[in-house]
Structure 1
Amino acid sequence: MGSTADKIKGMANEAAGNVKQAAGKTLNKPGLQAEGIAQERKGEAQQALGKGKDAVKKVIDKA
């Protein structure tokens, strides 16, 4: 998967995680809130992976 796809999927997971967190808090469902936190962290990791791929590509392109 390319860096752009990783970053897009990461942003989508972060957004979905934030929605789940808010819903869990509003509905007093700690399980849903925890699921949202986990999904948000997954999204952050995917975005970091995409940024890392960009950095590696820049180094390779300079070589």
Structure 2
Amino acid sequence: MTKLKAPVPVPVDAEGDLATLRGDCARMAPHWHAPDRIAALPVSPSLIHGVKVPSTSARLLDAMSDYGD
């Protein structure tokens, strides 16, 4: 009869757990800087040129009631 070995313990996550990750993020948060939100300015339709829409997309939009009716 073959003797079975004891189960191998599952290794703990080498990178840490969720609490460690949250702590790391909390320490890094002051170093992250988000730029101020810049409002997009409207563009004159006369400046928009060279836009090409594939015919399949145009047909799809035309078939939608929100756009085609």
Q: Same fold by TM (over 0.5)?
A: no
What range is the shorter-chain TM-score in?
Answer: under 0.3
Higher helix share: 1
